[in-house]
Amino acid sequence: MKSFTFPRLAAQALAAALLLPLAGFAQQARPLPDFVPVLPAIKAKALDIPAKGYLVKQVKQDVYVVTDGAYQSVFVTTGKGVVLFDAPPTFADKLPEAVAEVTREPIVELVYSHTHLDHISGAQSLNKKIKGLRILAEEGAASLLREKRDPRRPVPTQTFRDHYQLNLGTLHAELKRSDWHSPHGDLFIYLPQRKFLMAVDTVVAGHVPFLDFDLTTNMHSYLKVFDEVLAYDFDVLVAGHLTYLAGRADVEDTKEYAYDVYHTIKRIHDGSDQMAIATHAAEKYTWDNKFALYRTVLDGMIDSCTTEVRGRWINRLAAVDVFGESHCRAALIYARWDD
């Protein structure tokens, strides 16, 4: 497979999406830590993104993934118009061109997987370009968007509660709400006839999850999402991010990783002599500064967890050294306060 160079367009878009304060970069620069390179086997699987900045890849009959190497969205031809699933701002303005590469059917509907800006805030440009675009979302997501009045994320024209059968022409999609990630709900988007599943921000193929277990606001539900995903009969999973498409093995790997982090931090937490650590720290901070003592206790657990997990996973998944510490912290918050 050809080597992958991150396209300039996508790199810039990713930087913008991550809200890097490029203008103030000079004064905010701090030494760059060392991270191991992405594992060669993972890098080799990356899809080649053409110079135009996005790739249209057919993954099933009538089902296409659009990706810029950082984000993924989906469109489906139905014989009665194209249905889009998500509109990442990094390439949403190119989606009409992307669709036109494979069909003359007009785009008629957009489905929001969840409310996060990085997956749907390109809806504004689509809504301007496409007359009468229908926008569908689950009620939890819709109620946040009604409250936000954010022009980048137009309010859905149609909503449903919990689950919905989206039937249009040849498309039969089962939409079901869950809550592994966003506080306003996430969607399983399943096309049973195609064995195709979209579940955004669950796993990242070849990589550990993003910061804090993919920014989940519900660690309890996040730990259950892998079995929920695997309960579907699918062989292609679109999870929304990075360089290639996930399969069942990627879900199994991420499940094993997430549970390893969780069990590791729980063992460390339950086995540590917190009073001894606090007493030692109080010699420096005094017992008045209780937050300093808590922080010393918690940081020690996170450090031990991070070291252990890194040792077991650094040669299996990319970016363990980048986000492993945040995973240990997220799992500690759950294990200590909610488990």
Q: Which is nearer to Zn ion, 116 or 327 (CB)?
A: 116
Q: What minimum distance in Å lies between the beta carbon of 116 and Zn ion?
A: 3
| 148's tokens | 């936000």
* Dihedral angle of Cα 175, 176, 182, 184, to the nearest 10 degrees: 90
Q: Which is nearer to Zn ion, 1 or 18 (CB)?
A: 18
Q: Under a CB-based contact definition with an 8 Å cutoff, are residues 210 and 222 in contact?
A: no
Q: Which is nearer to Zn ion, 148 or 195 (CB)?
A: 148
Q: What minimum distance in Å lies between the beta carbon of 217 and Zn ion?
A: 10
Q: Which is nearer to Zn ion, 185 or 324 (CB)?
A: 185
Q: Is 201 among the residues that bind Zn ion (CB under 5 A)?
A: yes
Q: Sign of dihedral through CA atoms 20, 21, 27, 28?
A: negative
Scanning 68-76, 132-140, 196-204, 260-268 for contacts with Zn ion by CB under 5 A, the matching segment is 196-204
Q: What minimum distance in Å lies between the beta carbon of 25 and Zn ion?
A: 25
* Type of residue at 108: V
Question: How many Å apart are CA 199 and CA 217, to the nearest integer?
Answer: 16
Q: Which is nearer to Zn ion, 84 or 302 (CB)?
A: 84
Q: Is 116 among the residues that bind Zn ion (CB under 5 A)?
A: yes
Q: What minimum distance in Å lies between the beta carbon of 117 and Zn ion?
A: 8
Q: Which is nearer to Zn ion, 136 or 268 (CB)?
A: 136
Query: Alpha helices of the chain — where are they, by DSSP H?
Result: 8-17, 25-28, 40-44, 95-100, 117-120, 123-129, 139-148, 211-215, 219-230, 248-271, 274-285, 290-313, 320-337
Instruction: Sort strands 55-60 and 63-67 into parallel, antiparallel or unpaired.
Output: antiparallel
Q: What minimum distance in Å lies between the beta carbon of 218 and Zn ion?
A: 12
Q: Which is nearer to Zn ion, 116 or 269 (CB)?
A: 116
Q: Under a CB-based contact definition with an 8 Å cutoff, are residues 265 and 332 in contact?
A: yes
Scanning 21-29, 116-124, 155-163, 320-328 for contacts with Zn ion by CB under 5 A, the matching segment is 116-124
Question: Pick from 187, 243, 183, 174: which is nearest to 215 by CA?
Answer: 183
Scanning 22-30, 111-119, 124-132, 142-150 for contacts with Zn ion by CB under 5 A, the matching segment is 111-119
Q: What minimum distance in Å lies between the beta carbon of 207 and Zn ion?
A: 15
Strand partners, 138: 160
Question: How many Å apart are CA 268 and CA 270, to the nearest integer?
Answer: 6
Site string for Zn ion, 228-267 (x = CB under 5 A): ----------------------------------------
- Contact residues for Zn ion, defined by CB under 5 A: 116, 201
